[in-house]
């Protein structure tokens, strides 16, 4: 629990310092035809580099560093559900300037926009679960 807490704290601080928890900065990055703010490219490139090497390392392991079973994604197919989900994610990110991690940081900071986003995100997750149960998935 302590390691999970410290990891989450470090992640949240990274989001705040990088500007990813600031919806105005994110929307500025996404505004390619207006006053584009390219500064988050460095944040994303850093995250991709860390993620690439972390998944490369994790792919060689069977257990986590704490000894529990390591469960990595196995899906490789690009299907309709993935494409639609990606479009919905991107649209939500572009409208609100939040994605789930930064929204939770914003929630912790008491940002009203983050509260609304997290409530909408939880509602969307609940609707997805209801649909999945009805489909038998």
| Structure confidence by residue, pLDDT tens digits, 47-89 | 999 999 998 998 889 898 888 899 888 889 999 989 999 999 9
Give dist(CA 98, CA 50) in Å, integer.
21
125 versus 1: the higher-pLDDT residue is 125
Find the DSSP H helices in the chain.
2-18, 23-30, 40-58, 80-96, 100-108, 112-135
Q: Residue 63: inside a domain, yes or no?
A: no
Q: What is the pLDDT of residue 137?
A: 62
Residue-wise DSSP of 39-56: THHHHHHHHHHHHHHHHH
Please report whether residue 70 resides in a domain.
no
In a domain, 104, yes or no: yes
Residue 91 lies in a domain: yes
Distance CA 27, CA 99 (A): 11
> Looking at the domain assignment, is residue 54 inside a domain?
no
Over residues 87-127, the pLDDT tens digits come to 999 998 999 999 999 999 999 999 999 999 999 999 999 99
pTM of the full structure: 0.75
* Residue 57 lies inside a defined structural domain of this protein: no
Residue 43 lies in a domain: no
Please indicate, yes or no, if residue 69 is contained in any of the structural domains.
Answer: no
CA distances from 35 to 10, 22, 29, 30 (A): 30, 16, 8, 9
Structural domain including 12 reads: 2-38+75-135
Number of domains composing the chain: 1
CA distances from 77 to 73, 80, 82, 83 (A): 11, 10, 9, 11
């Amino acid at each position: 629990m302590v390691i999970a807490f410290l990891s989450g704290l470090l992640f949240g601080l990274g989001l705040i310092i990088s500007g990813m928890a600031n919806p105005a900065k994110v929307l500025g990055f996404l505004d390619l035809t207006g006053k584009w703010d390219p500064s988050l490219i460095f944040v994303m490139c850093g995250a991709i580099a860390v993620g690439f090497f972390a998944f490369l390392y994790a792919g060689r392991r069977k257990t986590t560093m704490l000894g529990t079973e390591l469960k990595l994604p196995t899906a490789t197919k690009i299907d309709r559900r993935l494409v639609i989900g990606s479009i919905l994610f991107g649209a939500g990110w572009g409208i609100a300037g939040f994605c789930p991690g930064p929204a939770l940081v914003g929630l912790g900071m008491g940002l009203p926009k983050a509260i609304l986003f997290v409530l909408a995100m939880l509602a969307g997750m609940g609707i997805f679960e209801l649909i999945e149960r009805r489909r038998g998935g």
